[in-house]
């Protein structure tokens, strides 16, 4: 089983591994890496083992997987995702809990495969691609690129930290009114655990308490950097872990609220885009996208008697 596709302008200058993942959204990263290691991937008949190799429009890509068009009938059987907004170059969705952004097994369920099934590929050369990540059980606003130009522009925008990412979370204990957590983070790839370590990558989180009581707080969280598990680890670091978090959380609080908190109660509330955007991103200029709170967080707020405007 093999396939040949021609790289389109949508992928000009992109990394090879990301190009492959965009064309074959149902293919797990492990399969892509295995194909590269074995020398099963070629560009213009030359074997390529480095996923970071940049591709060019017009190149012929040979891979050991089936034609991406053949995968369509499988991913169409998956569910859908709620759409907040759709433009020409980007799609904003409200990600539900217990759903990966990218598939972790072949033909696995994910945001990307659902979006691909809902809207199709932009021609053989490009399929919808997630611009940033949310953990499997984090809900809320997520943006997906619908074109190569949109993807390149959005990746640069996020890299330059020009998009404000704001979250809401229910945490253990009563937090200070507000604060900034400035603690470097390092990831243990083996155990998928992130720790505060002096030689880790710079990580900064701003938080503000919106309401408190009964041993819990509702906080607004702004990620000033974008590290893996950043909000979860930083809140745990200051002694106020996110309720329901089995990896970094408080065992006692999780046990007390186990009926209401079956996941980490972290919600990507808003994405705020700058006003000075042009070209393919002009449709996003000055826009704020907001996702309503999921039912489990609304239930906690109601049970606590916190005011509606605390949301």
Residues with active-site annotation:
135
287 CB-contact burial (10 Å; exposed 0-12 / middle 13-18 / buried 19+): middle
Q: Is 180 left (phi over 0), alpha (psi -120 to 50) or beta?
A: beta
Instruction: Kindly report the backbone phi and psi dihedral angles of residue 296, in degrees, each rounded to the nearest multiple of 5, phi listed first.
Output: -65, -40
For 85, other C-beta atoms within 10 Å of its C-beta total: 14
| Long-range contacts, 192-197 (Cβ 8 Å, 24+) | 193/247, 194/227, 194/228, 194/229, 194/230, 194/232, 194/233, 195/233, 196/233, 196/234, 196/237
In whole angstroms, give the CA distance from residue 204 to residue 187: 16
Output the six-digit token pair for 177: 């009114």
Return all residues near 3 (Cβ < 8 A) that are at least 6 apart.
62, 63, 65, 66, 67, 68
Q: Are the C-beta atoms of 286 and 178 separated by less than 8 Å?
A: no
Q: CA 103, 104, 109 angle in degrees (round to 5)?
A: 40
H or E element at residue 232? helix 230-237
> Which 3 state secondary structure label does DSSP give 155?
helix
């Amino acid at each position: 089983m093999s396939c040949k596709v021609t790289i389109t302008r949508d992928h000009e200058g992109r990394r090879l591994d990301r190009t492959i993942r965009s064309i074959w959204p149902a293919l797990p990263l492990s399969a892509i890496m295995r194909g590269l290691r074995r020398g099963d991937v070629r560009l213009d008949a030359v074997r390529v083992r480095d996923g970071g190799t940049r591709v060019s429009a017009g190149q012929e890509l040979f891979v050991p997987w089936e034609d991406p068009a053949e995968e369509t009938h499988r991913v169409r059987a998956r569910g859908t995702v709620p759409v907040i907004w759709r433009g020409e170059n980007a799609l904003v969705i409200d990600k539900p809990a217990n759903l990966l952004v990218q598939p972790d097994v072949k033909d696995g369920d994910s945001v990307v495969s659902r979006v691909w099934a809902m809207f199709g590929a932009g021609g053989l050369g490009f399929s919808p691609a997630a611009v940033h990540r949310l953990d499997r059980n984090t809900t809320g606003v997520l943006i997906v690129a619908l074109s190569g130009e949109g993807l390149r522009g959005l990746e640069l925008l996020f890299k330059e930290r020009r998009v404000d990412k704001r979250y809401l979370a229910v945490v253990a204990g009563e937090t200070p009114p507000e604060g900034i957590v400035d603690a470097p983070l390092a990831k243990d790839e083996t155990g998928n655990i992130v720790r505060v370590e002096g030689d880790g990558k710079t990580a900064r989180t701003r938080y503000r308490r919106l309401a408190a009581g009964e041993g819990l707080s509702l906080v607004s969280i702004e990620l000033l950097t974008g590290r893996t598990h950043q909000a979860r680890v930083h809140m745990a670091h200051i002694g106020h872990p996110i309720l329901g978090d089995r990896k970094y959380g408080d065992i006692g609080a999780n046990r007390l609220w186990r009926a209401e908190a079956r996941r980490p109660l972290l919600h990507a509330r808003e994405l705020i885009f700058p006003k000075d955007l042009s070209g393919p991103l002009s449709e996003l200029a000055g826009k704020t996208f907001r996702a309503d709170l999921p039912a489990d967080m609304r239930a906690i707020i109601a049970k606590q008697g916190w005011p509606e405007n605390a949301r």
